[in-house]
């Protein structure tokens, strides 16, 4: 029925274009968030959930599902006892074509509906193993290598091994970025190691994890950053998924390292966590001597706890955190409840100095096709919580922000969906390139139309206004002026029954600072792909002309698995790539991607140590994957 | 240099939209050749500012074989002291009902001035058309995907590399609306919109707008009589004045 079906059959399980569009839209320019969503979605794709076993908590992980839809799905299953096929979802009220297109690849209906209760013998049964090795290489020498500023070689790589079943997950990962030393006086091997051992769903013990993990409770004001399909997504304005889970990404900062425990007893949930790790002031990149010295600048440790009570239409929880590095203690209260078709959710967080952060959301599902949302937020400028995270804003708690968002989501007719929101916010303190408190707003409208099961037309318009220092300096009292930014995307994508995939897109944006001339930037590209049970490939040719750095355009591109690739376009030239996957036998996948940049009128690319002489830049990604 | 920038009269009447229009002339999206069910011989010409030196003349033929369509064509632009000449061969296939592909190879020849000899090059171009639904087309083409250059006295001049991406939609049974973005590697972005209205089977009128640094409006007419087809269009460029194009075709 849907093109997404073929995703399961190929060994190189790939996310559908519709899902990729969704991720790029809602994660926007948050690369870390997008990577997290992407990697977890691949994991979910390989381990789809059973519609006859799934519970509310599992469904809430899918942020594109509204509470109205979740409620209807559970009610449908209660009324009809079970799902005979996953396509029965189209009979559930509120499950439109767009939602089905997003959800279907992640669910299935198990023929044998017997629920497996835990016993010790199940702990090591039905284990899926996976080993992945990746290698990246940049062919042109960067200045950092020729002037010997970079301590390592121009290659990057990682090794990742993990195993999992319903009760156990073990992961170990070793990674090195390009330019980081591998073996020698600095590193005795890779630059970054991560791993965890996690047991879950053992009677009342929902999760116990040792190693690297992420956690989120309430709206994320006290402890956040866990994977929730989050972003500026309409349904995920309100975060729903409290949990602790093992971390298996290559990001070197946004995780906790220590132990986490999650107990559930009837309607009560108890969580405890502690974390201790090095403070890395180089953000995970350790190529130069200075960055190397910033890698381990002391320790940061914290402890936290969360207790919540959850009923069908009501949830309340409280979270505590002590951050030893800032010597701040935080406590928060979160809630979620319903009145008819209206959902109310929110959280209040306060530190021991009395500084507050709070967020409250009203989400009204007026009927099965139309819903409206209103969100108020206030993050005090001295709230200063390094472990809190709420991605509905583009700033961190450290800087402070107050704002209001209102939006609609309208299922206009069969296959057509309109989303729109306006965000008006005030930065309470100086921020990047703004030397004083400032006001900004952003308007966003998107239209998605599914022609049929495998073809989509997408259009988006975004307009924003912010203030910026006249000289661009970050310090000192400087006059600020408005800049306006418009962004338009028109995109068609289609996957055909013979395995052919096509995507055409035009992206344009304009940037105007103060009364200066309006500058327009454009990116135009065409993708062609082909998928076969033993082979798949995608190729792109892209022309771009983006005159100013401030209006740089970010476009998603296909990459080797487990890599979410958002390419930033700035300058004038051509970008092309070829991405190939070969599956010689069951479980083995060999992938490579070769990408090339050609910049017109440029004698060098990049700046500083990253400068490449000449107008060409070519890189290679190679990935081997074995599953058994 | 006129290579790769030689719109047919139908395309010019629709603001230079060329990737997903209904045009049996060679010179636009190579994939359009795949859609032809009848063989044709064709000629079309273009003139800028009524200057005989700025004329382009084209002849061509499209023949549908059982397993794919082929097109052959030639063009000449310029005058005795400067001229461009090309011969092209198009191979196109329609994978019904969704996708059409084409590859076009072109031999190009340039005579830059009396003191320079002829210089030659080969160009490879690609085209594609997608039909998501019956009323809509998405098309793209790349001219000179091979990045072929001319060499004149040891200096290399690249032939234009042009990327076009367009969309067309039948807003009514007889009305086709097109929108297209074009990017030549060393030129700014250009956009065009066009409209084709089939008044009766024998008569179509067209209008369009081409935007690249300045707006260039255009209009055109198409006539069909038995096996003959005649198209004419006019574009008004605010600096260069009138650009005229006309084409004649016999189909069987």
Per-residue pLDDT tens over the stretch B4-22: 888 899 999 999 999 988 8
**Residue B202's pLDDT is what?**
92
What confidence tier does A233 reach under pLDDT thresholds 50, 70, 90? low
* Partner B contacted by A528 (CB < 8 A): yes
Q: Contacts of residue A524 in chain B, CB cutoff 8 Å?
A: 163, 165, 181, 183, 189
**Per-residue confidence (pLDDT) for residue A476, from 0 to 100:** 57
Q: Which of A415, A506, A508, A528 to mutate to test the interface with B (most CBs of B within 10 A)?
A: A506
Q: Are B89 and B104 in contact (CB under 8 A)?
A: yes
Q: How confident is the model at residue A227 (pLDDT cuts 50, 70, 90)?
A: very low
Residue of chain A with shortest Cα separation from B130: A502
Q: Encode pLDDT of A517-549 as tens digits.
A: 888 889 999 999 888 888 889 999 999 999 888
Mean pLDDT to the nearest integer, A69-76? 83
Asked if residues A116 and A92 have their Cβ atoms less than 8 Å apart, the reply is no
* Cβ–Cβ below 8 Å for B165 and A545: no
pLDDT at residue B81, rounded to an integer: 79
Out of B98, B133, B142, name the one closest to residue A541 (CB): B142
| Alpha carbon distance A524, A461 (integer Å) | 16
* pLDDT for the residue A595: 94
The chain-wide mean pLDDT, for chain A, equals: 82
Query: In this predicted model, which residue has the larger pLDDT, A595 or A24?
Result: A595
Judge contact between A626 and A130, C-beta under 8 A. yes
B181 touches chain A (CB under 8 A): yes
Q: Tell me which range, A195-199, A468-472, A493-497, is most confidently predicted by mean pLDDT.
A: A195-199
Tell me how far apart the 2 most distant CA atoms of chain B are, in Å: 55
Binary contact (A496, B99; C-beta < 8 A): yes
Distance CA B209, CA B213 (A): 12
How confident is the model at residue A235, as a pLDDT?
A: 63
> Which contiguous run of DSSP H or E holds residue A212?
strand A205-216
Position A47 pLDDT exceeds 90: no
Distance from CA of A455 to the nearest CA of B (A): 7
The neighbouring-strand residues paired with A555 are: A567
Cβ within 8 Å of residue A326, ≥6 positions away: A384, A386
**What was the ipTM of the complex prediction?**
0.76
How far lies A531's CA from each of A7, A35, A453, in Å? 10, 23, 17
CA distance B48 to chain A (A): 28
- Averaging pLDDT over each range in A28-37, A252-261, A574-583, B75-84, which range is the top one? A574-583
Widest pairwise Cα distance in chain A: 71
Please give, rounded to a whole number of angstroms, the shortest distance from the CA of B183 to a CA of chain A: 7
pLDDT (0 to 100) of residue A360: 92
Instruction: For residue B98, list chain A residues with Cβ-Cβ distance below 8 A.
Output: 494, 496, 500
Q: Does B169 touch chain A (CB under 8 A)?
A: no
Q: Which residue has the tokens 């961190």?
A: A396
**What is the band of A5 on the pLDDT scale with cuts at 50, 70, 90?**
very low
What distance in Å separates the CA atoms of residue A102 and residue A564, rounded to the nearest whole number?
Answer: 18
> A304 versus A470: which is more confidently predicted?
A304
Q: How many helices (H) and strands (E) does chain B have?
A: 1, 16
Tell me: pLDDT of A475 over 80.
Answer: no
Distance from CA of A613 to the nearest CA of B (A): 20
Chain A, nearest residue to B162 by Cα:
A543
Residue A227, φ and ψ in degrees, nearest 5: -70, 120
Chain A residues lying within 8 Å of B128, measured CB to CB? 502, 526, 528
Is pLDDT above 80 for A16?
A: no
Helices (H), A85-198: 97-103, 143-146
pLDDT at A429 over 90: no
Query: Hey, which bits of A84-182 come out as E strands?
Result: 107-108, 128-138, 155-164, 168-176
Residues A488-505, mean pLDDT to the nearest whole number: 86
- Considering only CB atoms, A506 lies closest to which of B98, B161, B165, namely B165
- Which of A451, A508, A601 is the closest to B132 by Cβ? A451
Q: Report pLDDT for A116.
A: 60
Measured between CA atoms, the residue of chain B closest to residue A601 is B186
CB A294 within 8 A of CB A281: yes
Give the lowest-confidence range in A309-323, A346-360, A380-394: A380-394
> Which chain A positions have a beta carbon within 8 Å of B189's beta carbon?
508, 520, 522, 524, 545
**Looking at residue A27, what is its pLDDT?**
63
- Residues B28-55: tens digit of each pLDDT: 899 999 999 999 999 999 888 777 778 8
A-B contacts at Cβ under 8 angstroms: 65
Bridge partners for B219 per DSSP: B207, B234
For residue A431, give the DSSP letter.
B
Contact (CB<8Å) B98/A494? yes
Least Cα distance to A230 among A46, A41, A423, A56 occurs for A41
For residue A208, the model assigns a pLDDT of 92
Please state the rounded mean pLDDT for residues A265-293: 87
What pLDDT sits at residue A133? Answer: 93
Cis upstream peptide for B207 (omega within 30°): no
Task: Check: CB of residue B76 under 8 Å from CB of residue B84.
Answer: yes
Count the Cβ atoms, other than its own, within 10 Å of residue A22: 24
What pLDDT band is residue A317 in, cutting at 50, 70 and 90? very high
Give residue A474's pLDDT. Answer: 53
- What residues of B are in contact with residue A508 (Cβ under 8 Å)? 189
The 3-state DSSP class for residue A515 equals coil
pLDDT mean over A451-458 = 82
Q: Please tell me if residue B133 touches chain A, with a CB cutoff of 8 Å.
A: yes
Chain B CB contacts of A505 under 8 Å are: 165
Q: CA-based angle B220:B224:B226, to the nearest 5?
A: 170
Residue B191 distance to chain A (closest CA, Å): 11
Percent of chain A with pLDDT over 90: 20
A518 close contact with B: CB closer than 8 A: no
What pTM, to 2 d.p., does this model score?
A: 0.80
Q: Which residues of A touch B4 (CB under 8 A)?
A: none
Cα distances from B182 to residues B33, B146, B167, B175, B239, in angstroms, run: 20, 18, 12, 23, 21
Which tokens in the block code for residue A606?
């990049």
At A420, list the tokens: 């729109």
**How far is CA B90 from its chain centroid?**
13
The answer to whether B165 faces chain A, any CB pair under 8 Å, is yes
Q: What is the pLDDT of residue A28?
A: 60
pLDDT surpassing 80 at residue A391: no
- Flag whether residue B134 sits within 8 Å of chain A, measured between CB atoms: no
Closest chain B residue to A497 measured between Cα atoms? B98
List the structure tokens of A404. Answer: 């209001």
Closest CA to A441 of A407, A405, A399: A405
Angle at CA of residue A291, ends A283 and A383, nearest 5°? 40
- 8 Å CB contact between A541 and A574: yes
How near does any CA of chain A get to the CA of B45, in Å? 30
In angstroms, the CA B190 to CA B185 distance is 11
Looking at A324-338, A461-475, A555-569, which range is the least confident one?
A461-475
- The Cα–Cα gap between A88 and A78 comes to 14
Q: Where are the alpha helices (DSSP H) in A363-483?
A: none
DSSP-derived letter for residue A114 is -
Q: Which of the four pLDDT bands, split at 50, 70 and 90, describes residue A14?
A: low
pLDDT value for A12: 46
B219 and chain A in contact, CB less than 8 A: no
Helix or strand or coil: residue A45?
A: helix
**Cβ–Cβ below 8 Å for B183 and A490:** no
The lowest-confidence range among A5-9, A273-277, B53-57, B64-68 is A5-9
Tell me what the mean pLDDT of segment B147-169 comes to: 87
Taking phi first (over 0 means left), then psi (-120 to 50 degrees means alpha), and beta for anything else, what does residue B158 get? beta
Reported as half-sphere exposure (CB side, CA atoms, 13 A), residue A329 has a value of 4
Q: Could you read off the pLDDT of A103-157 as tens digits, one per residue?
A: 888 888 877 655 566 677 777 777 888 899 999 999 998 888 888 888 888 899 9
């Amino acid at each position: 029925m849907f093109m997404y079906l073929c995703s399961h059959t190929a060994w190189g399980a790939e996310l559908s274009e519709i899902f990729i569009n969704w991720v790029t839209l809602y994660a926007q320019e948050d690369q870390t968030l997008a990577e997290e969503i992407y990697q977890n979605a691949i994991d979910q794709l390989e381990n789809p959930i059973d519609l006859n076993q799934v519970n509310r908590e599992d469904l809430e992980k899918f942020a594109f599902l509204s509470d109205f839809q979740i409620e209807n799905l559970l009610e449908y299953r209660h009324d009809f006892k079970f799902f005979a096929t996953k396509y029965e979802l189209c009979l559930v009220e509120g499950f439109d074509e767009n939602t089905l297109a997003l959800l279907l690849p992640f669910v299935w209906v198990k023929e044998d509906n017997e629920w497996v209760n835990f016993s010790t013998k199940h702990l090591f049964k039905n284990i899926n193993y996976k080993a992945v090795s990746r290698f990246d290489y940049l062919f042109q020498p960067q200045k950092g290598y020729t002037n010997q500023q970079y301590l390592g070689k121009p290659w990057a790589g990682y090794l990742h091994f993990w195993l999992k079943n319903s009760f156990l997950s073990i992961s170990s990962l070793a990674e090195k970025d390009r330019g980081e030393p591998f073996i020698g006086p600095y590193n005795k091997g890779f630059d970054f190691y991560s791993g965890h051992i996690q047991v879950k769903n053992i009677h009342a013990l929902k999760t116990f994890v040792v190693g690297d993990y992420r956690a989120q409770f309430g709206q994320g004001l006290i402890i956040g950053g866990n994977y929730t399909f989050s972003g500026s997504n309409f349904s995920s304005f309100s975060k729903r998924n409290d949990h602790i889970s093992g971390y298996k990404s290559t990001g070197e900062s946004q995780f906790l390292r220590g132990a986490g425990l999650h107990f559930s007893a009837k309607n009560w949930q108890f969580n405890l966590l502690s974390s201790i790790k090095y403070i890395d002031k180089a953000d995970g990149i350790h190529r130069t001597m200075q960055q190397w010295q910033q890698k381990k600048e002391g320790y940061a440790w914290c402890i936290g706890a969360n207790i919540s009570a959850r009923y069908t239409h009501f949830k309340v929880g409280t979270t505590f955190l002590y951050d030893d590095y800032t010597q701040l203690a935080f406590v928060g209260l979160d809630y979620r409840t319903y009145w008819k078709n209206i959902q109310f959710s929110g959280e209040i967080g306060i530190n021991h100095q009395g500084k507050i952060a709070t967020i409250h959301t009203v989400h009204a599902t007026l009927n099965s096709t139309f819903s409206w949302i209103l969100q108020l937020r206030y993050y005090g400028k001295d709230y200063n919580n390094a472990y809190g995270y709420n991605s509905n804003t583009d700033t961190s708690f450290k800087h402070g922000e107050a704002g209001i968002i209102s939006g609609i989501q309208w299922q206009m007719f069969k296959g057509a969906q309109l989303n729109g929101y306006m965000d008006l916010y005030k930065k309470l303190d100086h921020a990047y390139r703004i030397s004083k408190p400032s006001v900004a707003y952003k308007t966003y409208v998107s239209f998605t139309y599914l022609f049929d099961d495998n073809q989509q037309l997408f259009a988006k318009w975004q307009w924003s206004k912010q203030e910026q220092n006249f000289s661009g300096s970050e310090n000192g009292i400087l006059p600020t002026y408005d800049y306006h930014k418009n962004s338009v995307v028109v995109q068609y994508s289609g996957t055909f029954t013979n395995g052919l995939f096509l995507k055409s897109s035009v992206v344009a944006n304009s940037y105007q600072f103060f009364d200066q001339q309006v500058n327009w930037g454009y990116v135009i590209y065409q993708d062609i792909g082909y998928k076969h049970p033993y082979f798949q490939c995608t190729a792109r040719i892209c022309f771009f002309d983006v005159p100013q750095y401030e209006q740089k355009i970010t476009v998603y591109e296909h990459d080797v698995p487990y890599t979410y690739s958002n390419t930033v376009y700035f300058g004038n030239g051509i970008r092309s790539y070829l991405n190939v996957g070969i599956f010689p036998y069951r479980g083995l996948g060999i992938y490579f991607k070769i990408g090339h940049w050609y910049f017109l009128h440029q004698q060098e690319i990049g700046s500083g140590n990253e400068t490449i002489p000449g107008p060409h830049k070519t890189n290679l990604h190679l990935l081997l994957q074995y599953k058994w | 240099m006129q290579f790769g920038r030689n719109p047919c009269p139908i395309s010019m009447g629709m603001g230079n939209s060329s990737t997903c229009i209904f045009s049996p002339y060679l010179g636009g999206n190579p994939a359009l050749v795949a859609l032809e069910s009848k063989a044709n011989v064709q000629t079309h010409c273009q003139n800028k500012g009524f200057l005989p030196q700025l004329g382009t003349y084209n002849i061509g033929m499209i023949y549908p074989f059982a397993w794919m369509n082929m097109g052959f064509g030639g063009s000449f632009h310029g005058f005795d002291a400067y001229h461009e000449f090309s011969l092209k061969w198009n191979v196109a296939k329609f994978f019904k009902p969704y996708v059409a592909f084409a590859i076009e190879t072109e031999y190009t020849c340039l005579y830059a001035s009396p003191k320079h000899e002829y210089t030659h090059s080969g160009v490879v171009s690609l085209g594609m058309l997608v039909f998501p639904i019956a009323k809509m087309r998405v098309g793209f083409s790349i001219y000179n995907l091979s990045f072929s250059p001319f060499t004149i006295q040891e200096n290399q001049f690249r032939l234009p590399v042009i990327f076009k991406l367009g969309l067309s939609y039948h807003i009514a049974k007889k009305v086709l609306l097109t929108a297209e973005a074009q990017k030549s590697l060393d030129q700014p972005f250009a956009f065009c919109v066009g409209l084709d209205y089939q008044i009766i089977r024998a008569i179509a009128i067209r209008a369009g707008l081409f935007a690249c640094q300045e707006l260039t409006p255009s209009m055109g007419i198409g006539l069909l009589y038995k096996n003959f087809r005649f198209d004419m269009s006019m574009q008004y460029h605010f600096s260069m004045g009138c650009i005229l194009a006309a084409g004649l075709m016999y189909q069987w």
